Amino acid sequence: MEKLMNGVCWALEQLIALCLAAMVVLVLGNVVLRYGFNSGITLSEEVSRWLFIWMTFLGAVVALHEHGHLGVDMLVQRLPAAGKRACLALGHLLMLGIVGLLFKGSLDQARINWDVSAPVTGASMATVYASGIVFSVLAAVILLSDLYKLFTGQLTDDALVLVQESEESVQLQQILGTAGSAPAAAKGMP
């Protein structure tokens, strides 16, 4: 299952890169055409907005899989292992509930807007809400996978806190973890 999710996230990262490249081409091309040639790409704004929405939701899936979302772990870090497990389970169950609400809302909106055409491209506005559906399904799979690992004992005590206080602290821990571990081991320290 983990290999499959890693493959899906790799594909999502490639898709996000393509969306970003398309957005740059559309927006930059439109700017150049407007100021240089007094014309423009009519669908540039609409398509780039849709790409941005999709990019955001797909990036959230990748961040959820990599446990890259930032959060406040000040209290959870101080709890014993059982408390960390309870907080992780409760947090994931709450997130599953929220993802379920997002799925229902996105599905309802997609159904309502199925026959509504976008002003410029003429594409169905359900395309916008489909991003919420895709996110909800993939996020639920990731959350259920994490819960399965928790309840089957596959998570170590170090892996029970899935958020980080800040990006800087993550980078510092990585630097100290790789560079600082060799001298400590050489001195016989734990």
pLDDT single digits (tens) 115-152:
888 888 888 889 999 999 999 999 999 999 988 888 88
- Give the residue, 164 or 32, on which the prediction is more confident: 32
Classified as helix, coil or strand, 114 is: coil
- Dihedral sign from CA coordinates of 176, 181, 184, 187: negative
Q: What angle do CA 64, 150, 12 make, to 5 degrees?
A: 25
Cβ neighbours of residue 166 under 8 Å, at least 6 residues apart?
70
**Mean pLDDT for the stretch of residues 91-119:** 92
Instruction: Give me the mean pLDDT over the 12-32 stretch.
Output: 90
Residue 165: what pLDDT? Answer: 60
Joined together, the tokens standing for residue 153 give: 């004992």
Mean pLDDT for the chain overall:
82
CB atoms closer than 10 angstroms to residue 86: 14
